[in-house]
Every structure is written in structure tokens, then in C-alpha cells.
Amino acid sequence: MNSISIEFARVHPSLTKNGRRRNHWKIQRRATREMREDALFLILRELTGDDNPQRLVGITDIPLWESASIHVHHNWSNVPMDFDGLASSMAPAIDAFIDCGIIEDDSPKFIVSYTMTSEKVATRAQSGFIVTVEQES
């Protein structure tokens, strides 16, 4: 497997650029922890194809990629996020790739490219976020 994609229907408002200014640090910390845990579960589910969280505990054969590229895609229906807000809100999801050991760090030493795109969709039900990490050779 040389790419992993995870999807989120929504992001906690305290993780957006403006939300970080307005919300207390405890709320931000809780939202960050929840998003990292959700993303970690989604990553492990993508790697194993198993939905049972009990069987995901203790997985040790996750490959470490020497370098990777990251792509964040935002489907929006009402108001699009600007790209610095999108990067801020998706940071905990990207950190989950580090937590599970797929990439060593999200610094330029290990990440070859980091791209973001945005697309208007017809309904709010279709909106969401997709984070894709792809192994670079």
C-alpha cells in the first residue's frame, strides 16, 4: 500500500484558525486529542481492513515511509475555508500518521510535498475533508 486516505465529515470549530483564537486552550486540547484518536482509528482501519477496534490494538507491522506527500482536500457547500485555516484544522489528522508510525515527522525533511485543494459541492451532506498521505520513492 503506497497511499492512505482518511475522511472527516466535519472538524471541531475550535480547530479552525479563527476558532483557535476564540476558544479556551482546554477545549482546543480536547478537540485535538479526539481528532487524533479518530484519525488513528481510520488509518489503522485502512491498513488492516478491520472495523473492530479491539483487533486494532497492538498492531506492530506498520511500515515506516522514508518520505511522503500529503494532500488535503476540502469539499464545501456553503463557505470555503481559506488554506491556512484548512492546514490548521487538519494538523491533528496528519499528526496521527506520525503517531501510528507511517511517517517519522511532518517536517520538510520527510514530507516532499504538501498540497491543498477545495471544491464546491451541491449539498452540506456531501461536504467534508479528505487527507491523503502517499509514499514517495
Q: In what order do the strands lie in the sheet with 111-120?
A: 3-8, 128-136, 67-76, 111-120
Strand partners, 129: 8, 74
Q: What is the pLDDT of residues 115-127, one digit of tens each?
A: 999 999 999 999 9
- Cβ–Cβ < 8 Å for 15, 88: yes
pLDDT at 106 over 80: yes
Q: What is the pLDDT of residues 63-94, one digit of tens each?
A: 788 999 999 999 999 889 999 889 999 999 99
- Cβ–Cβ < 8 Å for 112, 69: yes
Of 120, 77, 95, nearest in space to 33 by CA: 95
Neighbours of 99 (CB within 10 A): 13
Structural domain harbouring 43:
3-136
Neighbours of 89 (CB within 10 A): 26
Report the number of distinct structural domains present in the chain: 1
44: pLDDT confidence band, cut at 50, 70 and 90?
confident
CATH number of the domain residue 11 falls in? 3.30.1330.70
pTM for the whole structure: 0.87
Amino acid present at 51: D
